[in-house]
Amino acid sequence: MAHCLDVIVFGATGFTGKCTLPYIYKFANTEKRILTWGIAGRSKQKLKDILNETAKRVGVADLNSIPIIIADVEDEESIKKMTAQAKVIVNCCGPYLIYGEIVVKACIETGTHHLDITAEPQFMEKIELKYNKAAEDKGVYIISACGFGSVPTDLGALYLEKHFEGTLNSIEIYLHGCEEGGIISSPQFHYGTWASAVEAIGNFKEMIVLRKELYTSILPERYPKLSLKWIHKMNDSERPKWALPLFGPLDDVVNRSQRYFYLTDKKRPI
């Protein structure tokens, strides 16, 4: 199927969509690169507004030449028309457990690659179970976990292992706020993240069933076991810092990668 655009950002007016557009613009306008892109969502006016906002952020007069596509997850035909127009859909419309499957399904039907920022284990595992074979047959990549909650941990684990002298067994990961001008900025969570967390908790039993069907083998036990510290003090030359547990799907994302390496390369999982 012919695709007239390289990339469409779906959900461009949301929190993550707004953050994504300046990077898409910069990437598309790098020297010696020709990349065509558009934005999609439910409201034409809001999409126009976000293009105007993005133009100011990147320092150009306007972005009126950027195509606007109207697509709504409540209208499957509009989603399919959107996916048919791009080589890649950057899906910023969550929670994905509610709104994601219809976009993945349309992408496979139209031969479009799909990338999202979810770290929702149930969504990722459900999609793998239902659509892996269809995506493979169609030559379509379905790539999840490309957001802040996943990339630093997953790539960080791979980076640490690559440069670690010896056998890497366990990892502790920390997140802290950055200080600028005497003000410490703490991590912030927007509505989409909160809604995803609520959905994950509410559907936890279904995830257990999914995993039994998806994972026919279990990862080997890793020894020695890392003793998890809950609230603990960290050494710091300037002032003391206290570490609190960060609840979320970080382990699930890293374990998906570890499982893949174990099953394909027989690599000892971290």
pLDDT, tens digit, 9 for 90 and up, residues 125-158: 999 999 999 999 999 999 999 988 789 889 999 9
Residue position matching structure tokens 């374990």? 255
Ramachandran category for residue 177: left, alpha or beta (phi over 0 → left; psi -120 to 50 → alpha) = beta
Position 198 pLDDT exceeds 70: no
Q: What is the mean pLDDT of residues 240-263?
A: 83
The Cα 8–Cα 87 span in angstroms is 8
Ordered domains of the chain (ranges, CATH): 5-143 (3.40.50.720), 151-265 (no CATH)
The Cα 211–Cα 209 span in angstroms is 6
What pLDDT is stored for residue 201 in this prediction?
A: 64
CA-CA distances (angstroms) from residue 178 to 72, 155, 173, 185, 238?
A: 37, 21, 16, 6, 15
Position 113 pLDDT exceeds 90: yes
Cβ distance 70 to 41 under 8 Å?
Answer: yes
pTM reported for the whole predicted model: 0.84
* Residues in CB range of 9: below 8 A, 6 or more apart: 17, 20, 21, 24, 37, 38, 39, 40, 90, 92
Q: pLDDT of 3-41, one tens digit each?
A: 799 999 999 999 999 999 999 999 998 877 789 999 999
Instruction: Name the DSSP letter for residue 199.
Output: H
